[in-house]
Structure 1
C-alpha cells in the first residue's frame, strides 16, 4: 500500500472524543491542592471508621484512675502512681500494708490482718482499680493473718490524654469524626437532592409555577429552625437519623435559591433552545442540559454546606436535641474543651485540629471542583 493511501486512510479515521466528565477529571487531577485534599478526606474517613477499633479503648470506657491525664506517648501508670493507687484500693479492706514494690510490671505488697484471717476476696479491691489486673493472694502465713497481694500492673496509653470523665480522648475524637462526617455528608446529600430538584424545576417552568414554588420556600424560611427540630423530636423521638434529616430538610432552601437563579440563566442559552426545537421534553432538558451545567456551583456549595451542617449539629447537641452521651461529635468535644481550655488545653486542641483540617480540605477540594466543572474552562 502506498504512503499516500495510508495517509488518506488516517485522515478519514474519526478522532476519538473526550467526554465532559473525563475533561473535568483531567483538570481536577492537575490541581495538586485539590487532589491532596481529596486524599486527606479519604484518609480521614478511613481513620475515623477503623481507628476506634485499634486504640485499645472503648469510646464510653471510663478510667476513674486516669481522669484528665495529659497526652503522652509513654504508657500509664507512672511508677510513682502505683504505690498510692495500691494503698487507695486497699483502704477499705481494713488491713495494714507494707511497702509496695514494683518489679517487671508486677506490683506486690505485704498485707496484715490483725483481727481475723485474710479473706481471699480482698483481691477484688485491687482488681477494681484501673491500674491493676489479675490480683492474687500469695505467701499466706499459717495462721492466715499475713499474706502478700500480687497484681499485674496494667499498661495503657492515652496518646491524646483523657477527658473530664476519664475516657480516652483519641478514641472519642475518632468516634466523633464518624458522627460529624456522617451527619455532614448525609444532611448535605438530602439538602442537595431536594434543593436541586426544587430549584431547577421552579427556574425552568417559570411563571406562576415558579412564583408558587418560591413562595413555599419563603414560608419555610420564616419557620424557626429550632422549633422545627423540636416538632420532629416530639413526633418521631430522639434519634441519630433525625439529626441529619432535620438539618437537611432545612438547608435545602439556600440550595433551591442558588439553583433557581442559575437555571433562569441557563434556560435562555442556545443549547437549551436547540433541545426545545428538537422536541426534547422538559424533564429530559432538565436532566441532560440544565442539571449537568449546575454541577459547578452545586458542588462548591456542598463543600461549604458540610462544615455548616457539622456546626448546626453541634448546636443541636448543645441544646440536647442532637447527639447524646455517651456518643459524641467534634462540635460537642470542642464545646467541652472550650470550658476547660485553661486547665486542659488538649481537650480543645485535638478535636479542633481534626475539624479545622477537614474544613480546610473541603474548601481546597471545593475550589478544585469549581475550576474543573466550570463550563467556561472547557
Structure 2
C-alpha cells in the first residue's frame, strides 16, 4: 500500500517537447549519409565557385603562348631540359648568336655575339616570353658586339594542364563552376517561384480558371525554344544573367504541371476541408497546406532542372548565344575537350569529372530531401 501511495502521489512526468515538421525533416535528412555527403560536396562547389577564381594561381583569361596544351603535372613548367633550347630560340629571334648558356637554379646566363653592335633593348625579346623575366645586360664588350645576359626563369604549375589557347585549365574549371552554378540557380529559382505559384493556384481553384490557365501553358509549350532563345539575345543582348532569368521564366512550365497535379490530389484531403471549414482564406490554405505538401516532388524536379539548365546553356554557347569568351562554363569546357580529345584527353577528363560529381551530388541530395519531406513517411 505504501508503494502504491507513493507512486500515485508523484507528479506526472513532463511531456516530450514537440518537433515541427521542418525539424523532423532535418533530423531525417541528417541520418541519410549519402545526402549529407552530397550536401558537403555542393558546399565545396559553392565555395570553389565564389572564392576559387580569386585564389587560383593563374587568371582564367591569361594566355601562355609558350605552354599550349601542356599535360597536367605537379612539377613546374618549363622543364629544365626545355629552358636551354628556348633560350637559344629567343636569342635567334633577337638576331644573336648564343655562345655559352648556363643555368644556375632559376637564373639563366647567356653569352651572345652579333656581327654588329647589339642594341641594349634586345632584352625585350626575352621578357616578352612566358619563360624569362627581369632580363638585363651584365657585361658588354668594348665594341658592343658581345654581351652577357642574365635572366630569371619563370616557373609555372599547371596541375590540370592548359587548354588549346594556353590558359590554365584549373582556373578555367573554377570560373566555369561559378558560371554553371549561377546559371542553374537563377533559372531554377525563377522556375520555382513562377511554377509553384501558378500550378498551385490553377489546381486549387479548378474549373474554368484551371482550364484557361493550363491552355496558356500549352500555348507556351508550342513555342520553339531555339527561336525563343534567339529573341532573348536580340532583346537582352549577351547578358548571361538576364538571359537565363528569362530562360527560367520558360522552364517553369513543367514545374507548374507537376504542382497542379499534386494540388488536385490534395485539395479534397481532410486537413484542407478542415481549414476551409474554419474560414481560412484560399491564399492561406495554399501557403500553409498545399505548397508545403508538394515540396517533395518540387525538390526532386529542382535537382533535375539544375543539370538540365546547365546542359541547355552548353547548347546555347555552342550556337554562340550563351557564355562568351573569356568566360566559360562546364558545358563549354567539355565541348572544347571533346574537340581535342585525341591530342589532350585531360581537357575532356577534368571538366567531365567536375560535372559528373556535381550531378551525382544533386541527385543524391534530391533523393534525401524527398525522403525527409515526404508527408506520407512522417
TM-score range with shorter-chain normalisation?
over 0.9
- Secondary structure at the aligned position of 1:139 is classed as strand
Residue by residue over 1:56-87, the C-alpha shift from the partner in whole angstroms, topping out at 9 and shown as x without a partner, is 21101000000000000000010121112112
Preserved CA contact (<8 Å) 2:100 2:112: no
1:48 is matched with 49
Cα shift readout 1:170-199 (whole Å, capped 9, x = no counterpart): 000111000001101111111111100000
How is 1:1-378 mapped onto 2 (pairs within 5 angstroms)?
Answer: 4=7, 7-10=10-13, 13-116=14-117, 118-378=118-378
Deviations 1:36-64 (A, max 9, x none): 10011101211232222222211010000
Kept in 2: contact 1:266–1:272 (CA 8 A): yes
d(CA) in 2 for partners of 1:134, 1:51: 29
Q: Mean alpha-carbon deviation: is it higher for 61-70 or for 38-47? A: 38-47
TM-score (norm 1): 0.96
TM-score (structure 2 length as normaliser):
0.96
Q: Which moved more, 1:214-223 or 1:97-106?
A: 97-106
User: How many angstroms does 1:91 deviate by?
Assistant: 2.3
2 CA distance for matches of 1:37 and 1:7?
49
RMSD, aligned α-carbons: 1.3
Distance 1:99 1:160 in 2: 35
Residue range with higher mean Cα deviation, 86-95 or 338-347: 86-95
SS at match of 1:99: strand
Structure 2 CA distance for aligned equivalents of residues 100 and 180 of structure 1? 48
- Unpaired stretches in structure 2, ≥5 consecutive residues: none
In 1, the alpha carbon distance for the partners of 2:48 and 2:235 equals 36
- Name the CA distance, whole Å, in 1 between partners of 2:100 and 2:162: 29
CA distance in 2, matches of 1:246, 1:346: 34
Looking at structure 1, the residues matched to 97 and 91 of structure 2 have their Cα atoms a distance apart, in angstroms, of 9
The alpha-carbon distance between structure 1 residues 135 and 191, as it changes in their structure 2 partners (threshold 3 A), is same
Bigger mean CA deviation after superposition, 324-333 or 236-245: 236-245
Question: 1:180 and 1:247 mapped to 2: Cα distance?
Answer: 14
The answer to whether the 8 Å contact 2:236/2:243 transfers is: no
Q: Is the 8 A contact 2:32 2:368 kept in 1?
A: yes
Q: Which consecutive residues of structure 1, in runs of 5 or more, have no partner in the other structure?
A: none
For the residues of structure 2 that align with 1:64 and 1:6, how far apart are their CA atoms?
89
